Amino acid sequence: MRLVALVPLLIAFSFSALASQVPASISKQFESLRVEKATISNKTLKVVYKDEKVGDLMALSIAQSVCSAWYTDKKSFNNNLFENIKVYNHWEMQGYQFNLNANKCEELGKLAGDEYDIEMRKIMKPL
């Protein structure tokens, strides 16, 4: 009977074992933002804000922070660690997705000012 009680716990641990840890360089970028948690699973960096609503500027801040982590310390994470970023509100019911990885960050990093913002918005879509 005790083994049956452990089954849900074992299943939960097996799924969490599939998730990758968010690199410290990315986590550090999130320190000044209102991020509740960040995880990487199935090639997706999932970021959850503490807020009930996530605006486009909040989502852009996350994507730009991830790229900033890549620009400042390319050795801190593998360039194929994730293929997209999903930014959610606290309830994980609303947010934005970016088709963005380290290679795309590298490409965007060559753009200046407004061009960078325009291209970043092109790869952003509401969830």
pLDDT of residue 54: 98
pLDDT of residue 94: 98
pLDDT of residue 66: 96
pLDDT of residue 79: 83
Short-list 69, 74, 65, 72, CA closest to 32: 65
Q: Name residue 44's beta-bridge partners.
A: 41, 84
pTM of the entire predicted model: 0.83
- 3-state class of 42 per DSSP? coil
CA distances from 87 to 8, 12, 68 (A): 28, 23, 17
Which residues of the chain fall short of a pLDDT of 50? 6-7, 9-18
pLDDT of residue 113: 85
